Amino acid sequence: MPPLCLPDPSDDELSDDDLLGSENLFPLDADALQRLGLDDLPELDLEEFGSTLRDPAEPLTPPPGAVTYSASDGTVFWFVHGMAGDTLPMQITTVTSEDSVGYARIGCFEEGVLTLADVRLEPHYRGRGMGSTLLRHIIDLACQHGLRRIYGFVVERDYQAMPHLLDWYARHGFTVTPATDEDRAQQHQGNAVALLELELSA
């Protein structure tokens, strides 16, 4: 497996997952989902998380071969890929022994470019480094598939709620620029305040 394209960001000052709110960072409305063909995708197969008939009191366990991570408080978590596209998963779910606690939706709608469309993390799991690990996982995945760029938008609602969100992405190597009218025309809801771009090493 090739190394991450970017150095591991430092842990000082900003709290990683406080920056990932319980609402979608890059929400897609129903019309946008339909245009992208995401409106009728099946739900993740729960068997990927363990037995669908398991006792709720029993902890979830990682699927065979899954890489596990430890949050800053010792919580063990892993990622499950679902809704597979041609080469990349379209959903990456963050799972702990208790439940699925967040997800990211990504897409490859332009050759060589990964679109970061949606990120979510349950409120009581923020501040533990899980969001940074998820973002680095996405970057690593894009590198493994030979993609050259990742881009996304920060919308007005999320910027108002979390103005430090832009700094958080910058810490992970993203170039953050104010959204232009042209950017907003490309963004489905037209309410982007910032464009996120990350050029990946070859």
Instruction: Inform me whether the pLDDT recorded for 149 exceeds 90.
Output: yes
Instruction: Compute the average pLDDT of residues 124-147.
Output: 91
Q: Please give the CATH number for the structural domain made up of 17-151.
A: 3.40.630
Average pLDDT over residues 72-88: 82
Check pLDDT > 70 for residue 36.
Answer: no
Check: pTM over 0.75? Answer yes or no: no
* 78 or 17: which leads in pLDDT: 78
Checking if the pLDDT of 40 tops 80, the result is: no
* DSSP states of the chain: -PPPSSPPPP-SSS-TGGGS-SS-SS---HHHHHHTT-TTPPPP-GGGGS-TT--TTSPP-PPTT--EEE-TTS-EEEEEEEEE-SSSEEEEEEEESS-EEEEEEEEEEETTEEEEEEEEE-GGGTTSSHHHHHHHHHHHHHHHTT--EEEEEEEHHHHHH-TTHHHHHHHTT-EEEEPPHHHHHHSTTS-EEEEEEEEPP-
pLDDT recorded at residue 55: 63
Q: Tell me which of 138 and 26 has the higher pLDDT.
A: 138
Q: Does the pLDDT value for residue 156 go beyond 50?
A: yes
